[in-house]
Amino acid sequence: MRHGQYRFIAGFLAVPLVLYAVFVISPFIQAFYYSMTNWTGVSPQFDFVGLQNFQNLLHDSLFLRAVRNNVVLLVAMPLLVILLALFYAFLLNVAGRGSGAGVRGVRGSGFYKLVFFLPQVLSVPVIAVIWAVILDPTPTGLANSVLRGIGFGSLGWLADPNLALYCVLWVLVWGSVGFYLVLFNAAMSSIPRDLFEAALIDGAGRVATFFRVTMPLLWDTIQTSWVYLAVLALDVYALVAVMTAGPGGPANSTQVISLQIAQNGFQFGRAGYASAMGVVLFFFTLLIAAIMLRATRRERIEY
């Protein structure tokens, strides 16, 4: 290395590190501090209350309901997104009827990739407003008109406490599939074609190829996506705040932890309590991520 090169590198690293420390690390540490106080958020005076906030959380029925809803999203969303994304990526890459030798995707796969990725370029409030209009509960709403056209009656959608959470789940899935489709697609294209052709020669159908060849080779990517989607499910806020009734859904059916944090911190003047919720969410997310990474660990396959 040239003389003085480390100082050169340090100079460039210093600024981003400082920004990161001030805007990411510092608030984290402050949140831990405020979670043990009764800070209202609008006053410089507050007292240290130890773990009182955490004790109150255990008895807060609204918070526990929010945790329950988050867990539902946590279980369902990554599963659905990954399954759909894998399936579509497989179709676009491997499942085409090749006229010549080799494997290719279905016809027009470039176009499909574009269409599936489209929701990613929309911002979350825009998506929330669009779907709130589509899922309009009056009989003349978009979704209800379609349902009535094919013979089913109209549904309450976001106004029905039994359906509202699943509507939120659906919109989350709809918004995420495109990104993971492109991700899996890229991962799949890096699999050498001869592996697929070898499988074809050995008599593997599409289903067998998918489960015996594609999935094991993609396992790294799937694992990372799973953890990332789990964190997304635990963090969901903007969609719920804009799209649901209340917000928080009819009868608290779409209440989520982030929404509780926002309401407690800003509307009720309980910033200390909200920080405690944030700390709980932090540890919960770490725990889930650790469990998932452990549970889905497999040997790395080199090819």
- Which residue in 8, 48, 211, 268 binds another protein (CB under 8 A)? 268
- Sort 138 into a burial class: Cβ within 10 Å, 0-12 / 13-18 / 19+: exposed
Minimum distance, C-beta of residue 125 to another protein, in the bound complex (Å): 14
How many chain residues interact with another protein (CB under 8 A)?
Answer: 57
User: Measuring CA to CA, which residue among 181, 133, 123 is closest to residue 157?
Assistant: 133
If one asks whether residue 22 binds another protein (CB under 8 A), the answer comes out as yes
Q: Which of residues 133 and 293 has its CB atom nearest to another protein in the complex? A: 133
Is residue 21 part of the contact set for another protein (CB under 8 A)? Answer: yes
Among 47, 267, 294, 300, interactor with another protein by CB under 8 A? 267
Among 78, 175, 178, 248, binds another protein (CB under 8 A): 248
CB of 4 to another protein, least distance (A): 11
Binding mask 206-245 for another protein (x = CB under 8 A): ---------------------------------------x
Q: Segment 140-179, which members bind another protein (CB under 8 A)? A: 141, 144, 154, 156-159, 161
Nearest distance from C-beta of residue 79 to another protein, angstroms: 28
- CB-wise, 25 or 115, nearer to another protein? 25
DSSP assignment string, the chain: --TTHHHHHHHHHHHHHHHHIIIIIHHHHHHHHHTTB---SS-S---B-TTHHHHHHHH-HHHHHHHHHHHHHHHHHHHHHHHHHHHHHHHHHT-S--SSSS----TTHHHHHHHHHHHHHS-HHHHHHHHHHHT--STTSHHHHHHHHTT-----GGGSTTTHHHHHHHHHHHHHHHHHHHHHHHHHHTS-HHHHHHHHHTT--HHHHIIIIIHHHHHHHHHHHHHHHHHHHHH--HHHHHHSSTTT-GGGTT--HHHHHHIIIIISS-HHHHHHHHHHHHHHHHHHHHHHHHHT--PPPP-
**Is the link from the previous residue into 125 a cis peptide, with omega within 30 of 0?**
no
In the complex, minimum distance from the CB of residue 253 to another protein, in angstroms, rounded to a whole number? 10
- Round to whole Å and give the CA distance between 251 and 261: 18
12-20, 66-74, 81-89, 203-211 -> range binding another protein (CB under 8 A): 12-20
126 makes contact with another protein (CB under 8 A): no
Write each residue from 38 to 67 as x if it is in contact with another protein (CB under 8 A), else as -, in one continuous string. xxxxxxxxx---------x-----x-----
CB closer to another protein, 105 vs 248: 248
Distance separating alpha carbons of residues 96 and 148, to the nearest angstrom: 35
Please identify, using beta-carbon distances, which residue of 37 and 221 lies nearer to another protein.
37
Residue 1 binds to another protein (criterion: CB under 8 A): yes
Q: Binding of another protein at residue 263 (CB under 8 A)?
A: yes
Question: Contact residues for another protein (CB under 8 A)?
Answer: 1-3, 6, 10, 13-14, 17-18, 21-22, 25-27, 29-30, 34, 38-46, 56, 62, 132, 135-139, 141, 144, 154, 156-159, 161, 245-246, 248, 250-252, 263-264, 266-271, 273
